[in-house]
Amino acid sequence: MEMKIRILDKQVTREELGRWALEAHGDMIKAVVDVQREMLAVGGELHSDAEAVLLEQNSRQEDLWGINLYPAKPVSDRIEYHSLINIKPRQKHSSMEIQDPGIRERISRIVNRWVDW
């Protein structure tokens, strides 16, 4: 079953995101954030699926970061900054976990703009 990828163009509710998560991975939905264009793509089996959609929409690889969203968890645990697409040797980022607190803060701000928790 192919999981739909949505590039958000309006704010979604926590409940709506929760329904999408159930269709995808149960309690979690994969997402990719374009930190430059402040875009959020959710869905897909792999982060690379949403990454490909954003690249087709003229996003730049170096601006894309993969995260997991857990709508049912407590606020502090709803964003997991972990994805294979986060390994970016050209940017000297060798971890699946986003280490840079500045990037994490930008991602959190963008997610919170698109998702009404």
Average pLDDT along the chain = 94
Element (H, E) at 9: none
| Spatial separation of the C-alpha atoms in residues 91 and 107, rounded to whole Å | 17
pTM reported for the whole predicted model: 0.95
Report pLDDT for 2.
58
| pLDDT (tens digit per residue) in 75-113 | 999 999 999 999 999 988 899 999 999 999 999 999 999
| pLDDT (tens digit per residue) in 28-45 | 999 999 999 999 999 999
| Spatial separation of the C-alpha atoms in residues 64 and 19, rounded to whole Å | 24
